[in-house]
Chains A and B, each alone.
Chain A
Amino acid sequence: MSFLSISNAVKTFGANTVVKGFDLSVEKGEFVSFLGPSGCGKTTVLRMIAGFERPTSGRITIDGRDVTDAAPNKRRIGMVFQAYALFPNMNVAGNIAFGLKIAGLSKAETDARVQEMLALIGLSHLAERFPYEMSGGQQQRVALARALAPKPQVLLLDEPLSALDAKIRVSLREEIRAIQRQLGITTVFVTHDQEEAMSISDRIVVMNGGRADQIGTPSEIYNRPKTRFVAGFVGTLNVLRAQVDSHAPHTVTVGGKTVHLPRPVETADASGTLSLALRPEALSLTPSAARDVTFEGQVQGVNFMGSVIRIRMHVGDEAISFDMFNSPDLVPPKIGQQAAAHFSSRDIFELSA
Chain B
Amino acid sequence: MKKTFPLAAVLIALFAASFFIVPLVATFYFSLKMTRGELGFAAYASVFNSADFLTTISYSTVASLIAIAVGAVIIVPTAYWVRLKVPHLRPVVEFISLLPLIVPPVVLVFGYIRLFGSNSYLPLTTTTAGTDVLLVLGYVVLSMPYMFRAVDNGMAAIDIATLTEAAESLGASRLRTIAFVIFPNVRAAIIAGAFLTFSISLGEFVLASLLNRPAFGPYLVQLGQDRAYEPAALAIMSFAFTWGCMALMQLFATRKPGQRWLPRLMTPAKRTTP
Contacts and interface: CB of A to CB of B under 8 A. Distances in A.
Interface of A: 50-52, 71-79, 81, 83, 85-91, 98-99, 102-103, 125-126, 128-130, 132, 138, 143, 146-147, 150, 156
Contacts of B173: 73
B133 interface: no
B169 A50 contact: yes
Interface string B68-101: 0000000000000000000000000000000000
B162 A87 contact: no
B170 interface: yes
B42 interface: no
B184 interface: yes
B171 A130 contact: no
Nearest to A100: B170
A76 B172 CA distance: 11
A86 B158 CA distance: 11
Contacts of B162: 81, 83, 85
B272 interface: yes
Contacts of A150: 170-171
Contacts of A72: 165, 168-169
B166 A102 contact: no
Contact of A85 (B165, B172, B258, B271): B165
A79 B165 contact: yes
Contacts of B264: none
Given A85-B162, A156-B169, 19 more contacts: A52-B168, A73-B171, A85-B163, A85-B165, A87-B166, A87-B167, A88-B257, A89-B184, A90-B257, A98-B167, A98-B170, A98-B180, A102-B170, A102-B172, A126-B274, A132-B257, A146-B166, A146-B170, A147-B169
B185 interface: yes
Contact of B274 (A51, A87, A125): A125
B253 interface: no
B165 A52 contact: yes
Given A87-B181, A88-B257, A89-B257, A103 B159 contact: no
A154 B181 CA distance: 23
Given A91-B258, A103-B171, A125-B272, A81 B166 contact: yes
Residue in B168, B170, B180, B258 with the greatest tally of chain A CB atoms within 10 Å: B170
Interface residues of B, number: 24
A71 B158 CA distance: 24
B169 A102 contact: no
B258 A130 contact: yes
A138 B274 CA distance: 11
Interface in B125-170: 158-159, 162-163, 165-170
A139 to B, nearest CB: 12
24 contacts: A52-B168, A72-B168, A72-B169, A74-B171, A79-B169, A81-B162, A87-B166, A87-B185, A88-B257, A91-B258, A98-B180, A99-B172, A102-B172, A102-B176, A125-B271, A125-B274, A126-B274, A128-B271, A130-B257, A130-B258, A132-B257, A146-B166, A147-B170, A150-B170
Contacts of B184: 89
Contacts of B170: 73, 78, 98-99, 102, 146-147, 150
Contacts of A79: 165-166, 169
B181 to A, nearest CB: 5
Contacts of B169: 50, 72-73, 75, 77-79, 147, 156
A52 B257 CA distance: 29
A160 to B, nearest CB: 12
Contacts of B172: 73, 98-99, 102
Contact of A99 (B171, B271, B274): B171
Nearest to B163: A85
B3 interface: no
B194 to A, nearest CB: 18
Nearest to B174: A73
B185 A88 contact: yes
A215 B41 CA distance: 85
B256 A130 contact: yes
Contacts of B171: 73-74, 76, 99, 102-103, 150
Contacts of A50: 165, 169
B84 to A, nearest CB: 12
A92 to B, nearest CB: 11
A132 B176 CA distance: 23
Best-buried of B163, B184, B257, B271 by chain A (most CB within 10 Å): B257
Contacts of A126: 274
Nearest to B187: A89
A125 B274 CA distance: 8
A264 B166 CA distance: 53
